[in-house]
Structure 1
Amino acid sequence: MSTTRQDLLQAFDALLQPARFKDYGPNGLQVEGRLPIQKIVSGVTASRALIEAAIEARADAIFVHHGLFWRGQDGCVTGWMKQRLALLLAHDINLFAYHLPLDAHPQWGNNAQLGLQLGLQASARFGEQDLGFMGARADGSSFASASALAVHVENVLKRSVVQVGKAQGAIENIAWCSGGAQGYFESAIAAGADAFITGEISEPQAHYAREMGVAFIACGHHASERYGAPAVASQVAAQFGLDHQFIDIDNPA
């Protein structure tokens, strides 16, 4: 089975509704490739390693969370940008990228899928553009402590985490927002969270966690965003009867 580039773009846009978001770069088709599409490769970031793996997998399109173009870039096609674009253009591969729309989708997005992996059920949204999710364990239980929650996150995501704040007491209300969402911590506190899970931590959040008695857990930017892209790409591929393959390029950040 195959579809066209335009039909695929319309399907991604219909699902993720990028026009709803004020974002840091263009969402949608970032690099135009061949018209007929039979196979999609999904991944977190449009790195050279992912592009090379997609070429090896004979993909017609790549679907990612982190694309090539961001607000504030100087626009010069040199260095790493030239290398990545040269590969895409030489092999006529389409690149689709969705940033905040992929974070926010209530079922297939990064935050929804991260919650599913961690056994969390969202009951509310918070923060700028309602990107943050708030909820509790899907089975109705609580974590005995922030340390117990941190161990659970480590076991599920298979990587070490950084935990700061709230050493004692049960954890019931959990907020989470994938990637570099440390700036959402204060909104999570205001929303009543006992703990906040995101990808990264910056210097101020350690102090906020200790002073406000709310646990902050940083589990890795890449590790927290491995689930949305394959979930969305899989849904859209199934809609058209296309082949889909998720390729995870390891990243310690």
Structure 2
Amino acid sequence: MAQLNDIIQWCNQTLKSHEFKDYAPNGLQIEGKSEVNKILCAVTASQGAIDAAIAQGADLLLVHHGYFWKGEAYPITGMRGKRIKSIIKNDLSLVGYHLPLDSHPTLGNNAAIADLLALERIEALDPGERNPIGNIGFLKQPMTPRAFKDFVSEQLHFDAIHLPADKASVQKIGYCTGGAQDFIGKAAEQNCDAYISGEVSERTFYEAKELNVHYYACGHHATERYGVQRLAKAISEQFNIEYSYFELNNPI
């Protein structure tokens, strides 16, 4: 058993959440019971994840995509109202970490991608960022663009979309999980051979070709499965409490 406030304080300090200018609040978003015996983690605070947390007797739902995003309407109605009502009715705490969980050098989504792809010599995609939310890494050996597509698809369990460039091989890889397709320009500035993110836009096809950077769209959900699991495991070890992961495989 652990105190909710102790968990939040530890997470905030570990992830340095106060150092990020984000699109939603990081940390405790909806407060439930003060004592936590079990955590359920999920990529997104969907109704399915909420229902799973309730069914499993979790006290805390830990997510990457929580609520109260900038630009959202204020009224708590409709789908979001139903979700929040379920959380409050069951005295469940909702905790979300967005950019801090992308950025963390060991627990983060980007760190997980580097590990899965065995990338070396990790550096910032944007050298001017204090806490980089995108990175660059190097393959041990160059690969053909097609072979790299097959490799990332296998490692991330997602059929990657490859938008081709002219380069005959790839070794220097830029990457930023989720909806960061527009960082392909930063990858070009750093002379990357390829760039990985989650989503893809119509414009990305032309950017990959004209910037001469192979682009691999590997799924918003698929590239961001890992941070919440790493963070939940770290919390479990720090506070000696149980955790589980809820997977609702989102094809986007």
- TM-score, normalising length: structure 2: 0.96
Aligned mates of 2:121, 2:74 — CA distance in 1:
39
Aligned mates of 2:23, 2:220 — CA distance in 1:
17
| Contact 1:122–1:133, Cα closer than 8 Å, also in 2 | no
| Contact 1:115–1:122, Cα closer than 8 Å, also in 2 | no
- Aligned residue identity for 2:178: G
- Aligned residue identity for 1:186: G
C-alpha offsets along residues 47-71 of structure 1, whole Å, 9 cap, x if unaligned? 0000001111110001110001100
Aligned mates of 2:66, 2:93 — CA distance in 1:
12
| Contact 1:197–1:218, Cα closer than 8 Å, also in 2 | yes
- Aligned residue identity for 1:20: E
* Structure-2 residue corresponding to 1:83: 82
Q: Secondary structure at the match of 2:22?
A: coil
Aligned mates of 2:178, 2:167 — CA distance in 1:
26
- Aligned residue identity for 2:134: G
Aligned mates of 2:65, 2:157 — CA distance in 1:
22
* Structure-2 residue corresponding to 1:219: 218
Query: Superposition pairs for residues 79-118 of structure 1, below 5 Å?
Result: 79-118=78-117
The alignment status of 1:134 with 2:133, answered yes or no, reads no
Q: Secondary structure at the match of 2:138?
A: strand
Aligned mates of 2:204, 2:165 — CA distance in 1:
13
* Structure-1 residue corresponding to 2:68: 69
Aligned mates of 2:217, 2:121 — CA distance in 1:
19
Aligned mates of 2:125, 2:158 — CA distance in 1:
26
* Structure-1 residue corresponding to 2:198: 199
Q: 1:123 to 1:157 in 2, by over 3 A?
A: closer
Aligned mates of 1:245, 1:234 — CA distance in 2:
9
- Offset at 1:160? 1.2
Aligned mates of 2:121, 2:87 — CA distance in 1:
38
| Contact 1:3–1:37, Cα closer than 8 Å, also in 2 | yes
Aligned mates of 2:180, 2:219 — CA distance in 1:
11
- Offset at 1:202? 1.2
Aligned mates of 1:18, 1:142 — CA distance in 2:
36
Aligned mates of 1:50, 1:5 — CA distance in 2:
19
- Offset at 1:212? 2.3
- TM-score, normalising length: structure 1: 0.95
Q: 1:122 to 1:52 in 2, by over 3 A?
A: farther
* Structure-1 residue corresponding to 2:8: 9
- Offset at 1:149? 0.8
Structure 1 stretches (4+) deviating beyond 3 angstroms? none
Aligned residues: 249
Aligned mates of 1:69, 1:120 — CA distance in 2:
35
Aligned mates of 1:212, 1:185 — CA distance in 2:
8
The alignment status of 1:42 with 2:41, answered yes or no, reads yes
C-alpha offsets along residues 63-82 of structure 1, whole Å, 9 cap, x if unaligned? 11000110011111111111
Which runs of 5 or more residues in structure 2 are unaligned?
none
* Structure-2 residue corresponding to 1:244: 243
Q: Secondary structure at the match of 1:53?
A: helix
- Offset at 1:249? 1.4
- Offset at 1:189? 0.8
Q: 1:122 to 1:198 in 2, by over 3 A?
A: farther
| Contact 2:22–2:99, Cα closer than 8 Å, also in 1 | yes
Aligned mates of 2:225, 2:29 — CA distance in 1:
20
**Percent of residue pairs identical:** 36
C-alpha offsets along residues 173-196 of structure 1, whole Å, 9 cap, x if unaligned? 001100000111100110111000
